[in-house]
Amino acid sequence: MERRDLLRALASAAALSVLPNEKALAAWSRLATGTATTNGLSDAQMALVRAMADTIIPRTDTPSATDVGVHRFVEVIVSEYAKDEDRTKFLAGLDAIDARARTESSAVFAELSPEARGKMIESLESGSRDVDPAQTYWRLKGLVVHGYFTSEPVMKDVLKVVVMPGKFEGAAPVAIKKRPSDVKVPPSGQEAHAHG
């Protein structure tokens, strides 16, 4: 399967993702303003999100996750749309991912080689999804995939989504077709008589 076909398949799966499309659109619109986020991620957490995003969706013949700004999308969602309790838990989970990387490889996730990142992700995916750091990893992966497929560059250039297909022609000629009728209408001036 080619990467483009895989991306299209993942886009379909993203429709069932973790966010309503209104929140994704609002987050991307918010990013377009260029205003700094409030309660943003720390530099270390942002480095982790960038590295994780590009490990999940690396650059090939299509852009990587960070090429389209998914890391900033994740920051906006976590910082401005998550409930305080969920945000606190998510940020603690990011720190737990880095702590695990330090324990297993003596470096934070962002400093690992691509091979070591892949092995750590495999390890997170093979364990229980109900405990951290795997729980946060799965949440982050969902945000990365959803953010990627709702980004304007991916929708336009990779998936070739046409928001308004064709063009609008308000004065286009319309051919009116007459339908055959079973009821015969009498010529004008004559009335139909009921038999009976």
pLDDT for position 177: 73
pLDDT for position 14: 44
- Taking 70 as the pLDDT cut, the residues of the chain under it are 1-22, 24-25, 27-28, 31, 35-36, 38-39, 162-174, 180-196
pLDDT for position 192: 53
Cβ-count burial of 23 within 10 angstroms (0-12 exposed, 13-18 middle, 19+ buried)? middle
pLDDT for position 161: 76
CA atoms lying within 13 Å on the CB side of residue 62: 22
pLDDT for position 176: 72
pLDDT for position 158: 82
pLDDT for position 8: 47
pLDDT for position 154: 86
pLDDT for position 159: 81
pTM above 0.85, yes or no: no
> How crowded is residue 161: how many other Cβ atoms within 10 Å of its Cβ?
13
pLDDT for position 57: 95
Q: What's the rounded Cα separation, in Å, for the pair 154 and 76?
A: 19
**CB of 159 closer than 8 Å to CB of 15:** no
pLDDT for position 86: 92
